[in-house]
Amino acid sequence: MSPAKQLRRLIASGRTIAAIGATDALSAKLIESHGFDCVYIGSYATAASRFALPDTGALALPELAEQARTIVNAVKLPVIADAEGGFHDAANIWRTVQAFEQAGVAAIHIEDHAYGKHAAVEQKLRPAHEAAARIRAAVEARRDPDFLIVARSDAFWVAKDLEDTIARLVLYVQAGADMVFPTFVGPAELAEVRRRVERPAMVLPMSDARDASIVLHYAFSALVQFEALGRALEDFRGERKEPGGAQAFEDFLGYRDFAARTRRYGG
């Protein structure tokens, strides 16, 4: 079964699925080993882990698609990827869809946020009709009909305007979106979105996400790694305390499998 079909089955199950954000192939493999159903890779974690940069729209399509490919190759789980605003206008967005399909991901989300993503700067949204055209072009460009196109609207995040958010999501669904993703809504807003928009919803973590099909914990691995490595480095500076667990780590990575192949085939 293809990863995209796996993800569609998960969504159809009616459960609320936790999509844990990975920073790299190793974190994705750990997420899989702990029994989660899917993995997420986004611009936030990619900008931080690969370039030590903030997530301000500076990443290019090849950088995100290649990061997604390394994660797909490390796990058997469906991978959901961040396609930002699509990277191209509607007429050329087929290249974005092609890149992520070839990387092997199960779904991408495309947003209507044009600029900002930080409280200290002016936020700009794309006109709704322009964002809808990108969604329609992406849907028509996919080769695998199970590959999911998720329409993300940041209208509630930017202006706390639920009516505009819902109007935009309805327009994106009419353009063919498989799921909707209203960012930074709460449980009450999500319930209204689900009542008025006929698609399953993807959301960011909230107090009660029972109305959502997928919850994106986009910063999970990045924040854990930042905190844990910082703490370990402080311990090392103070006590020269080396980390333990090398054998378990190497077993997890597959060194024993390599040894077994060497015994079977020779070195």
Q: What is the pLDDT of residue 103?
A: 98
Do 132 and 32 fall into the same domain?
A: yes
Read off the pLDDT of residues 102-147 as tens digits, 9 standing for 90 and up: 999 999 999 999 998 888 888 899 999 999 999 999 999 999 999 9
CATH of the domain at 148: 3.20.20.60
Domain tally for the chain?
2
Q: How many CA atoms lie within 13 A of 118 on its CB side?
A: 7
Consecutive H or E run containing 210:
none
Do 36 and 153 fall into the same domain?
A: yes
Do 49 and 142 fall into the same domain?
A: yes
Do 96 and 66 fall into the same domain?
A: yes
Do 115 and 232 fall into the same domain?
A: no
Do 246 and 145 fall into the same domain?
A: no
The C-alpha atoms of residue 172 and residue 151 are separated, in whole angstroms, by 6
Distances (CA, A) of 218 to 97, 141, 176, 205: 21, 26, 25, 9
Is 55 a known active-site residue? yes
Do 175 and 131 fall into the same domain?
A: yes
Do 189 and 257 fall into the same domain?
A: no
Consecutive H or E run containing 247:
helix 246-253
3 state SS of 111: strand
Q: What is the pLDDT of residue 132?
A: 98
Do 247 and 158 fall into the same domain?
A: no
Do 238 and 212 fall into the same domain?
A: no
The C-alpha atoms of residue 151 and residue 193 are separated, in whole angstroms, by 13
Do 203 and 232 fall into the same domain?
A: no
As a whole number, the mean pLDDT across the chain is 96
Q: What is the pLDDT of residue 117?
A: 81
Supply the range of the domain harboring residue 120.
Answer: 3-218
Do 166 and 258 fall into the same domain?
A: no
Question: Which parts of the chain register pLDDT below 50?
Answer: none
β-partners of residue 181 are 152
For every residue of 131-182, DSSP letters joined together read HHHHHHHHHHH-SSTTSEEEEEE-HHHHH--HHHHHHHHHHHHHTT-SEEEE
3 state SS of 223: helix
Query: What is the model's pTM?
Result: 0.95
The C-alpha atoms of residue 188 and residue 170 are separated, in whole angstroms, by 18
**Choosing from 24, 37, 55, 178, which is the catalytic residue?**
55
